[in-house]
Amino acid sequence: MTTKTLAPFHIAIPVHNLEACRTFYRDTLNCEEGRSSDHWVDFNFFGHQLVIHFKEKPQEEALTNPVDGKNVPVPHYGVVLPWETFHAFAEDLKLKSIPFIIEPYIRFEGLVGEQATMFFKDPAGNALEFKAFKEVSQLFAK
């Protein structure tokens, strides 16, 4: 499916500490807070709708897949940012002492799909990936 305009996505994720995650998404990632209740909070997640829902912490094992020599957490979610925005955002996260799962770096350097990427977790342990391409056309390149 191809579209000329990109529609915002909606994702709802479980968090075991609503207030810690609310602070993280609002103050650390600078996402504007929207509607909320005692059990959930909406955020403007880089133009998309992210909802954090309170859920007791499950006992889960950490899963990863190898990608470009790194252990990528699965599942994960995030946003593809413009190249300059990615680098400014990465520097801001470093200044805020975010513990990275995978530090910001260039993945697939010199190959089709070359991209900047970084991984970190929110306070509930949800893995996030932010990435950027110098050429957005490389997003789905084979």
Domain range list for the chain: 7-56, 64-142
How many percent of the chain have pLDDT more than 90? 83
What is the pTM (predicted TM-score) of this model? 0.89
The pLDDT value recorded for residue 123 is: 96
Give the list of residues 6+ apart from residue 25 with CB closer than 8 angstroms, or none. 31, 33, 41, 43, 45, 50, 52, 122
CA distance linking residue 81 with residue 83, whole number of Å? 6
At 39-60, the pLDDT tens digits run: 999 999 999 999 999 998 876 6
Q: Is 53 exposed, middle or buried (0-12, 13-18, 19+ CB in 10 A)?
A: middle
pLDDT band for position 5 (cuts 50, 70, 90): confident
pLDDT band for position 137 (cuts 50, 70, 90): confident
How many percent of the chain have pLDDT more than 70? 96
The pLDDT value recorded for residue 62 is: 74
Q: Is the pLDDT of residue 95 over 90?
A: yes
CATH number of 64-142: 3.10.180.10
Q: Is the pLDDT of residue 121 over 80?
A: yes
Q: DSSP character for 136?
A: G
Same CATH fold assignment for domains 7-56 and 64-142: yes
The pLDDT value recorded for residue 131 is: 97
Which fold would CATH assign to domain 7-56?
2,3-Dihydroxybiphenyl 1,2-Dioxygenase; domain 1 (3.10.180)
